[in-house]
Amino acid sequence: MKKITLCLSVIFLGVCLLQSCVKDTLKTTYTYYTPVYKSKAEVLQSIKSAPPSALQNTGKIFLYGQYIFINEINKGVHIIDNSNPLAPRNISFIAIPGNIDLAVKNTTLYADLYTDMGTIDITDPQNVVFKKITTNVFPERDYSNGFRPDSTKYIVDWVKQETTDKRSLVDNGQPSPGLWLASSSQVSGTATTKAITGVGGSMARFTIVNNYLYTVGQSNLSAFNISVPAEPVKENVKPIGWNIETIYPVKDKLFIGGQTGMFIYSLSNPSSPSLLGSFSHACFRDPVIADDQYAYVTLRATGNTSPCWGGGAAQRNELDVVNISNILQPSLVKIYDMAEPKGLSKDGDLLFICDGKAGLKIYNAANVQDIKLLKTINNINPFDVICQFGIVIVVADEGIYQYDYSNINNIKLISKVPVDKL
């Protein structure tokens, strides 16, 4: 907030119109945040089941069996019993400071905790047991403007504060807060539950393929052997480029989305994924999914300036369809305009795209040269989506929505877990 006070004398009004007053003052109020710390031992001991809490700031989603695991950004994980999609039940919350990503194998939950990764036994989702912490998995998880957290503790909250700076305009100086501004590292019923393996959304940084957990950081791909689920063993870390954002498995391959391209890795040696091919694009936010023949890449503009180092190219909002029949040389098939696309999912010929404020869009993608918009659900602002068995689960600003699309001509909302914006 800026307020400029001008002192003008009636007697010397004519003079002041010719030469500016030298007593002008600029007053600026800055908002900043300070961290609240707890010891690492205290935080790890507190990772356990708590009563269900309202969704407020939803993030990544993971489905396993009858459960929906939904991230509360930087706070932890909600567990929702979805055995009846017509009436999902929010049953518990696991407080995990700094949590953004998650994945599940059998009865084990893996979740990031700032730079570290926690392993949690969820045999009883209402009575989980913390098992192990793996340190320094995501060394790039940090905060901006020169702030570095105390590495011997965990941040559990932020306290909002304000300060006011006053400066005379006569010196032509620019006010400086002299304080850092914290910003998080950031920064989707008629069917029955059939899934017996976990499914993550397209915005995920964690994915599981057989006995391996794969995670992507800003520039690295890490492989953890989880043949003993409660004892993840890091076997490999590979540099894969800059500004990496998402990971998506298709059979024996990993499709990795970055701000400058899509990268395809082979899992022929699961402990050491190897690069097969790549597809480059301008600098955008970039989740990707794929089937046997095509990859679908949503590119979302982030503003007037490029988020990539040294970038500055004009940005668009679009869907790129990429032919991957020759996995070594992916080729662009066609570009479709979008509003602000984010997560996406596919079931047969049906393609679901979260297009931000433009809503959830459902396409017939049988002909990739001419995909057809079938329906838009435009009363939500969706972030990520997973579709299976005729039910599509959508994470939106407004909550978690489930739609029955078994009859594509009559898509029906069957349930909603709302967000409680305090």
Which two structure tokens, joined as six digits, stand for 191?
A: 């069917």
For residue 116, list its beta bridge partners.
113
Give percent above pLDDT 70 in the chain. 79
Sheet holding 244-250, edge to edge: 244-250, 253-258, 261-266, 274-280
> Please, which pLDDT band fits residue 325 given cuts at 50, 70 and 90?
very high
pLDDT, tens digit (0-9, with 9 covering 90-100), for 10-58: 333 343 444 444 455 556 676 777 888 999 899 999 999 999 999 999 9
**What's the pLDDT score for residue 143?**
59
Q: What is the Cα–Cα distance from 409 to 375, expressed in whole angstroms?
A: 9
DSSP assigned state of 319: E
Q: Phi and psi at residue 395, in whole multiples of 5°?
A: -95, 120
Token pair for 277: 């091919």
Alpha-carbon span 44 to 293, nearest angstrom: 44
If one counts every other C-beta atom within 10 angstroms of the C-beta of residue 297, the result is 27
Alpha helices by DSSP H, listed for 19-81, are 40-45
Structure-token pair, residue 151: 């590495």
Options 3.90.79.10, 2.60.40.10, 2.130.10.10, 1.10.240.10; which CATH number does 46-141+185-418 get? 2.130.10.10
Q: Which amino acid is at 96?
A: I
Give the angle subtended at the CA of 43 by the CAs of 160 and 125, to the nearest 5°.
110
Q: Ranked by mean pLDDT, which of 100-109, 139-148, 280-289 comes out on top?
A: 100-109
Q: Which of 195-199, 210-214, 245-249, 270-274 has the lowest mean pLDDT?
A: 195-199
**What was the pLDDT predicted at 146?**
63
Element (H, E) at 418: strand 412-418
Over residues 220-224, mean pLDDT: 96
Domain ranges of the chain: 46-141+185-418
- pLDDT recorded at residue 6: 36
Q: What is the DSSP letter of 419?
A: B
Task: Pull the structure tokens for residue 25.
Answer: 């003052």
Burial 167-198 (b: 16+ CB within 10 A, else e): bebeeeeeeeeebeebebbeebbebebeeeeb
Nearest to 359 by CA among 294, 290, 413, 286: 413
Residue 173 confidence (pLDDT) above 90 = no
Mean pLDDT of the chain: 84
Report the distance separating Cα 260 and Cα 218, nearest Å: 12
Q: How far apart are CA 191 and CA 90, in angstroms?
A: 19
Model confidence over 117-172: pLDDT tens digits? 999 999 999 999 999 999 988 887 765 556 778 888 888 888 888 776 554 433 33
Which residues, other chains included, contact 54 with Cβ-Cβ below 8 Å and sequence gap of 6+? 90, 419, 420
What is the pLDDT, as a whole number, of residue 191?
36
Q: Rg of the chain over CA atoms, in angstroms?
A: 24
For the whole model, what pTM was predicted?
Answer: 0.82
Top pLDDT among 195 and 352 is at 352
**pLDDT band per the 50, 70, 90 thresholds, residue 196:** very low
